[in-house]
Each structure stands twice: as C-alpha cells, then as structure tokens.
C-alpha cells in the first residue's frame, strides 16, 4: 500500500451567517496517497472549494469555524500557527487556481513570480534560481522560456498563463498539489493540453493531487479515485473506473445522466428536481438528497445516513441507492401506453 | 426556402494608429462566412474563443455593423436595410444571452422584463399584457406569482428561463442562443437544454446555437459549422462532423472533448498527440501562405471542408 500524503479526518468548515454557524463542509474524511489523483466532484455550493481553502488555511478565521484534522507531514495543519503554516503551503503543498487571469500579479514578470516562493522556502543563489525557473518553464511545456521569463502576464495567452501558474505550484517540489478547477476557464483544446500536461507531470513527479472540479469529463481523464460531494457531505467514493462503470449513489447517477456527451443522439437529458439547498435552508437530518428524489419512499432512506462499503473500496452514503431508479425509465413506458390508447 | 441565408458575411474592425489615428489595418473578426438555416432546424456554430462565432451571431441580430455580405432573412437582405425597415424584422429574431446574471436588469421585476419587448412592438392593455406575461412565465416553468419578484431572487437556471421567456414574448421565428448554458451547472444545464428542445417544437423555432462545448452541440444540433479565425473550417451534419471529420482543426477540436470512459484515457491522450503531430506536419495542406484558410470545398451535398 502506498503512503498517505494527506489525511483529512472528520473535517467540518462552518461559516458564520447572522450569528449562527452553518457547516459548508460537514464531517468529510478523505485520504490522498503518494502519486494519486483524487478528484472531488460536485456542483456549485457542494462545499468542494470550501474544503480546499480549509486545507490551505485560507479561510478568514473571524467568521469561519474549522473542526477535525488535516494531517500532513506528521502535523495537523488546522492547529498550526500562521507562521508554521506558511512554511508548509507553497512549499510542500502547491496550489493551482481556477482563473489564470487573476492568479498572477500583473505588475511582476513571470520569472519574478516563479522565483518568489523559492525566495521564501529555499536558499538559492540568483543564478541557480534562474536556472531552476527556466527548467520549470520548460517542464510545463513553454518552449521559448528565456523570453517568457522576462514577460508580464498580459503578454501571454490563457493556456500559457495556466502553465505559469502550474510552474509556480511546482516551484518548490511539492508533495501535494491542490488544483481548484484548473481547466474551467480555458478553451477545449487548451483544456486538453493542460490535462495531458498535468498527467505527464504527475507521472514524473509522483505528487499527490487533489483535483476539484464540476466537470465529470475532466474527472474521467485525470483521476485515480473520485469523491462525490453533495450539500457538504461525501456521498460516494470509488476508483474512477469503478465509479463510471458502476455509479451507485442517486446523485452520482443523476449527474452522469445529465451530461449531453454521455447520451446518444437527441434523447432527453436527465434533470434533477429542485435546487441545491442553501446553507441556512439545508435540512441536516436524514438523507440530504432525498428532497430531490421524492419518488423514492422515505423508508428506503436511512435516518442517519452512513457511508457503506457497497463493493470493495467503493463507499456510498445512505441505503437509498439500493432501490433507486429514474422515473423517466418507468413513466416513459406508461406514457407510451397512454398515447397508444388515445 | 431557407429562413436565413448568410452569404459571405464580413465584420472587420479598424485598427487605428500613426499620425491622426488613421486606419492602418483591420481585425478580420468574421471574414467571409456563408451558411443557411432551414426552418425548424438547429444550426450549431462552434469554435474557440476569438474565432468570431459570437460576432457573427450579433451581426445577424444587428448588434454589430456588417462590413460586407448579405443576410437574407425570408428573402430580404437585413444588411442593406435602414433602421426603420429593419425594426420590422427584429420581432422575428431574438437572442438568448450567455450570462443570466448580467443579461437581466436587476432593477426591473420579471413582469417589466418580459413585457418590455411587448411594449415595444405591440399595443396591449395592462390586463392583456399581464395575461401574456403570465402565460409565458408558466410556459417556462415558474409560478405566476414570481412576476413581481426581481432577478436576484432566482437561481441561475431560473434566470436563464426568464431570459428565454423574454425572447419568446414576440413569437420569433429565429432564436440566436449565444452560449446559453455555459454559465450553468451540469444538472441545470440539462434542464435548460431540454426546455429549449421542448419550446422549439411548440413554437416552431429555428435556433442558431453558438457554443464552444462540442458535447452540447452534438446533443442539440442538426447541422454544424466549425469556425476558426473568422472563417468556416468545416460544415456538415452532426454525424458527418463527429464521425467523419476531414479538416485537421475539426479533428483536433473533437479529440479535445474529455473522454468519459476512464479505461480509454491513455488511448485518447495518444490520439491527441497524433493529431497535434498531423497538425504540425500537414499545416500547409490546410492553410495558405498567409495562414488563412482555403475556401470551403464540397465533399457531398451537406458536407464541405476548407481544403486546397
């Protein structure tokens, strides 16, 4: 078994809204191993970004409450002081942000921006530093690295900027990379390039990657293991092949059925009823997905949904997956009969 | 007869510079595209950012000036018309915008938002107007009470449906949908796409569907035009484009669609590398010395490719 790099144990992140705390991340436990890509998938508001920011300690603690443990390199990141945390993030944990336009400083050259974390975390001479930056730029697939070194972000295209952001994340040889929607702001062909680049780098460097995304296509291409989140909770964890071949939780199955690329021809796409509940309106007892699959009888859900190991290494929350079906699969038959008789 | 026939449409923007800020060159945002929309079909315009797909859509509805070319709508050339004459046709062509957050006026309630096109083009009493708006609101699946609410009280998918209701208010024949779902979550995306297909049947609509997402285009469109640098690279039915792409750029776009089967991802990566290789080596067969694409050449009745 490979060594775990990061262990998130019972992490809860709650935000203060008008005096009360509401959990956006609710009792989440995830382990990331060496050389493993763990994808966290879910729609907006499911807590995936709040989770990433908690790991990096980027929440404002004035109105955020963090509970649980984030174990990394033998210490609990949540209990570290700001100074101690600064020694870890940017060095052992690199982060790739969603929007390369805003993640870079428009006033500093690319070279300067990649050197910055090295100044902080490594003691290198100026010439060694430059050598390393050029090497990094080459590694992320930038061919004219000498020129790019001197350039400013606005002189580069979106794909190039994202490569620079990746180079910054890799600058101090991280053990873990946190990528928050790394390809969402990019064009399809550039997205493909960045995905292939990340796969290649990951193979070379053996880092663990947490990939946060809403795009199941990106998950299928990149991930080794997938964590599906809904309304702050983990609802399913499985190996990527297993998840796409045999999705269990109703939410995962609904999501997969609502993607056009998954359907042949002009069939109707599956629509999930209702909306994602807001933090304040979320019913925290029982199965959180139940209000959106009302045709499943209440007794099929658990009162306190737990994660079950349905197959080896395939975990799913609540028992409702056992009897879940799509209404259109059955109603379709009935409608057909009705129109025939008319 | 085709509903809309676009012939050699060009939209150029001047680049000014030098002494007296004279026009020194042009940005050829759209550089000679031609296509036809048959009544009732969905035509997809695909390309990466900056390829001119949105500019084309905006030119057809009249939000951009046209440099040259014809846009024959039911046999009349929209490009030649003056403002007043053109106004008669604005009723028939409506638009659904990309971002439901910025395309609705935050200070107007839903009644006023949807009634605005009605007030511009039809004379209705307050009562008739209310009835029409309520019908539309119900048709897009919102409750009748919601007409007194404001945009911020709705979710993204609901807002996009309000935008669609506004576009439907004047019973248009052609709807230009510019990336209608790219700002929405997957499950909400599905809702809006299904809904667009439903109203297409109910209202006999023709869609010009502009998007960069090839998965959605495949799902929605009957015929597809692939754009690159302001020109068409390839045009054909959905099957022809997805199963029998001829131009190397089209192949590259299709190879870039994420593989949904994790078992095949390394195959896909190798396929992409092979196509990129082909793109490098055979560049000259597809682009002339100025890096411009060749004119479209017909392969069959429906399928044409920009090749030498």
pLDDT averaged over 10-residue windows placed end to end, chain B, 308 residues: 91 87 88 92 91 91 90 90 87 90 91 93 91 92 89 89 92 93 85 91 93 90 93 92 91 89 88 89 81 84 88
Q: Has residue A82 been placed in a domain?
A: no
**Higher per-residue confidence, B294 vs A166:** A166
For residue range A308-319, what is the model confidence (pLDDT) as tens digits?
A: 999 999 999 999
H helices within A122-187, ranges in order?
126-139, 145-150, 158-170
Check if A259 contacts B (Cβ < 8 Å). yes
Put simply, the answer to whether B193 touches A244 (Cβ < 8 Å) is: no
Residues of chain B positioned with their CB less than 8 A from the CB of A272: 187, 190
Q: Are A148 and A142 in contact (CB under 8 A)?
A: yes
Mark which of A171, A188, A206 sits at the end of a domain. A171
Averaged pLDDT for residues A138-167: 91
Sheet bearing B4-17, strands edge to edge: B22-37, B4-17, B68-73, B76-77
Q: Best interface-test mutation with B: which of A158, A189, A216 has the largest number of B CBs within 10 A?
A: A189
HEC-encoded secondary structure of chain B: CCCEEEEEEEEEEEEEECHHHEEEEEEEEEEEEEEEECCCCEEEEECCCCCCHHHHHHHHHCCCCCCEEEEEECCEEHHHCCHHHHHHHHCCEEEECCCCCCCCCCCCCHHHHHHHHHHHHCCCCHHHHHHHHHHHHHHCCCCHHHHHCCHHHCCHHHHHHHHHHHHHCCCCCEEEEECCCCCCCHHHHHHHHHHHHHHHHHHCCEEEEEECCHHHHHHHCCEEEEEECCEEEEEEEHHHHHHCCCCHHHHHHHHCCCCCCHHHHHHHHHHHHHHHHHHHHCHHHHECCCCCECCEEECCCCCEEECC
- What pLDDT score does A335 carry? 47
Check if A203 contacts B (Cβ < 8 Å). no
pLDDT of A342 higher than 50: no
Residue of chain B whose alpha carbon sits nearest to that of A200: B269
Least Cα separation, residue A265 to chain B (angstroms): 6
Separation CA A294–CA A262 (nearest Å)? 25
DSSP letter at A3? P
Phi, psi of B245 (to 5 degrees): -70, 140
Put simply, the answer to whether B258 touches A262 (Cβ < 8 Å) is: no
B276 HSE (CA, 13 A, CB side):
12
Report CA dihedral (B265, B220, A189, B296) to the nearest 10 degrees.
Answer: 120
Separation CA A134–CA A148 (nearest Å)? 9
Least Cα separation, residue A21 to chain B (angstroms): 23
Which of the four pLDDT bands, split at 50, 70 and 90, describes residue A341?
Answer: very low
Mapped onto helix, strand or coil, the DSSP state of residue B66 is coil
- Spell out which chain B residues touch chain A, with contact meaning CB-CB distance below 8 angstroms: 48-49, 155, 157, 185-187, 189-191, 193-194, 197, 212-216, 218-220, 252-253, 255-263, 265, 268-269, 272-273
The residues, any chain, with a CB within 8 Å of residue A19's CB and separated by 6 or more, are none
Tell me the helix, strand and coil percentages in chain B, rounded to 5: 45, 25, 30
Out of B259, B263, B273, name the one closest to residue A241 (CB). Answer: B263
> In chain A, what is the straight-line distance between the N-terminal and C-terminal CA atoms, in Å?
63
Residue of chain A whose alpha carbon sits nearest to that of B263: A241
Residues of chain A positioned with their CB less than 8 A from the CB of B269: 196, 199
Mark which of A171, A186, A207 sits at the end of a domain. A171
Domain count, chain A: 2
Separation CA B237–CA A253 (nearest Å)? 30
Chains A, B: CB pairs < 8 Å: 105
Q: Has residue A24 been placed in a domain?
A: no
- What pLDDT score does B308 carry? 76
- What pLDDT score does B4 carry? 93
- What pLDDT score does B141 carry? 85
Instruction: Delimit the domains of chain B by residue range.
Output: 4-92+170-306
Q: Are B57 and B176 in contact (CB under 8 A)?
A: yes
Name which of B153, B143, B140 is nearest B108 in CA terms: B153
pLDDT of A218 higher than 70: yes
- What pLDDT score does A339 carry? 45
Put simply, the answer to whether B186 touches A214 (Cβ < 8 Å) is: yes
Q: Has residue A83 been placed in a domain?
A: no
Separation CA A146–CA A130 (nearest Å)? 10
Separation CA A35–CA A265 (nearest Å)? 38
- What pLDDT score does B101 carry? 83
Mark which of A145, A171, A197 sits at the end of a domain. A171
- What pLDDT score does A260 carry? 82
Check if A266 contacts B (Cβ < 8 Å). yes
> Domain containing A140: what range?
107-171
pLDDT of A307 higher than 50: yes
pLDDT of A153 higher than 70: yes
Q: What is the CATH number of domain B4-92+170-306?
A: 3.40.50.300
- What pLDDT score does B69 carry? 92
Structure tokens at A236: 């399913």
Mapped onto helix, strand or coil, the DSSP state of residue B219 is helix
Q: Are B132 and B172 in contact (CB under 8 A)?
A: no
Residues of chain B positioned with their CB less than 8 A from the CB of A183: none
Cα radius of gyration (chain A): 22
Whole-model pTM over 0.90: no
Which of the four pLDDT bands, split at 50, 70 and 90, describes residue A262?
Answer: low
- What pLDDT score does B291 carry? 74
Per-residue CA distances from B259 to A47, A86, A188, A267, B265 (Å): 26, 38, 12, 20, 6
Check if A191 contacts B (Cβ < 8 Å). yes
**Higher per-residue confidence, A226 vs A17:** A226
pLDDT of A331 higher than 80: no
For tokens 């039915």, the residue is B237
With a pLDDT cut of 70, the percent of chain A lying above it is 94
Residue of chain B whose alpha carbon sits nearest to that of A240: B262
Which of the four pLDDT bands, split at 50, 70 and 90, describes residue A266?
Answer: low
Separation CA B202–CA A89 (nearest Å)? 56
Question: Which residues is B93 bridged to in the sheet?
Answer: B174
Averaged pLDDT for residues A208-224: 92
Check if A91 contacts B (Cβ < 8 Å). no
Cα radius of gyration (chain B): 21
Out of B190, B212, B272, name the one closest to residue A269 (CB). Answer: B190
Q: Are B115 and B165 in contact (CB under 8 A)?
A: no
Q: Has residue A123 been placed in a domain?
A: yes
Out of A190, A192, A254, name the one closest to residue B187 (CB). Answer: A254
């Amino acid at each position: 078994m490979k060594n775990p790099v990061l262990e998130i144990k019972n992490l809860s992140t709650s935000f203060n809204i008008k005096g009360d705390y509401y959990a956006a991340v609710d009792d989440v436990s995830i382990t990331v191993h060496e050389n493993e890509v763990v994808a966290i998938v879910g729609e907006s508001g499911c807590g995936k970004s709040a989770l990433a920011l908690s790991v990096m300690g980027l929440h404002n603690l004035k109105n955020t409450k963090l509970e649980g443990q984030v174990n990394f390199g033998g210490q609990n990141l949540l209990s570290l002081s700001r100074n101690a945390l600064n020694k870890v993030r940017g060095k052992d944990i690199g982060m790739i942000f969603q929007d390369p336009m805003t993640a870079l400083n428009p006033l500093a050259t690319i070279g300067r921006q990649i050197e910055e974390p090295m100044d902080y975390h490594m003691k290198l001479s100026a010439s060694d530093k430059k050598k390393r930056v050029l090497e990094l730029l080459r590694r992320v697939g930038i061919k004219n690295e000498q020129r790019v070194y001197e350039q400013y972000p606005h002189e580069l295209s979106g794909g190039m900027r994202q490569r620079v952001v990746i180079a910054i994340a890799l600058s101090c040889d991280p053990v873990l990379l946190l990528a928050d929607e790394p390809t969402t702001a990019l064009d399809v062909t550039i997205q493909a390039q960045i995905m292939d680049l990340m796969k290649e780098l990951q193979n070379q460097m053996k880092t663990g990657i947490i990939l946060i995304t809403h795009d199941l296509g990106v998950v299928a291409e990149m991930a080794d293991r997938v964590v599906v989140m809904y309304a702050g909770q983990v609802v399913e964890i499985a190996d990527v092949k297993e998840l796409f071949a045999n999705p269990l939780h109703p939410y995962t199955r609904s999501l997969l059925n609502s993607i056009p690329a998954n359907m042949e021809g002009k069939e109707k796409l599956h629509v999930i009823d209702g909306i994602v509940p807001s933090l304040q309106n979320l019913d925290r007892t029982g199965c959180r997905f139940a209000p959106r699959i009302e045709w499943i009888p209440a007794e099929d859900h658990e009162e306190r949904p737990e994660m079950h190991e349905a197959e080896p290494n395939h975990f799913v929350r609540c028992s409702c997956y056992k009897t879940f079906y799509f209404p259109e699969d059955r109603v379709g038959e009935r409608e057909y009969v009705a129109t025939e008789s008319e | 007869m085709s509903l809309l026939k676009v012939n050699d449409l060009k939209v150029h923007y001047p680049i000014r510079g030098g002494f007296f800020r004279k026009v020194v060159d042009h940005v050829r945002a759209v550089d000679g595209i031609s296509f036809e929309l048959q009544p009732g079909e969905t035509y997809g315009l695909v390309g990466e950012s900056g390829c001119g797909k949105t500019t084309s859509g905006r030119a057809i509805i009249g939000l951009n000036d046209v440099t040259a070319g014809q846009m024959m709508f039911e046999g009349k050339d929209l490009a030649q018309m003056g403002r007043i004459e053109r106004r008669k046709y604005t009723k028939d062509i409506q638009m659904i915008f990309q971002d439901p957050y910025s395309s609705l006026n935050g200070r107007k309630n839903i009644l006023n938002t949807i009634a605005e096109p009605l007030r511009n083009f039809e004379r209705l009493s307050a009562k008739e107007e209310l009835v029409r708006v309520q019908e539309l609101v119900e048709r897009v699946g919102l409750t009748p009470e919601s007409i007194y609410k404001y945009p911020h009280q709705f979710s993204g998918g609901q807002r996009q449906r309000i935008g669609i209701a506004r576009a439907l208010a004047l019973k248009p024949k052609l709807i230009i949908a510019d990336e209608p779902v790219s700002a929405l979550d997957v499950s909400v995306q599905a809702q809006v796409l299904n809904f667009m297909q439903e109203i297409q049947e109910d209202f006999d609509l023709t869609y010009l569907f502009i998007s960069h997402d090839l998965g959605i285009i495949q799902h929605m469109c009957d015929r597809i035009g692939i754009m690159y640098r302001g020109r068409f690279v390839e045009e054909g039915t959905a099957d022809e484009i997805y199963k029998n792409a001829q131009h190397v750029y089209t192949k590259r776009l299709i190879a870039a669609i994420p593989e949904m089967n994790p078992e095949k991802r390394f195959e896909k990566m190798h396929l992409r590398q092979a196509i990129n290789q082909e793109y490098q080596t055979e560049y000259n067969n597809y682009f002339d010395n100025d890096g411009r694409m060749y004119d479209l050449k017909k392969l069959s009745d429906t399928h044409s490719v920009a090749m030498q």
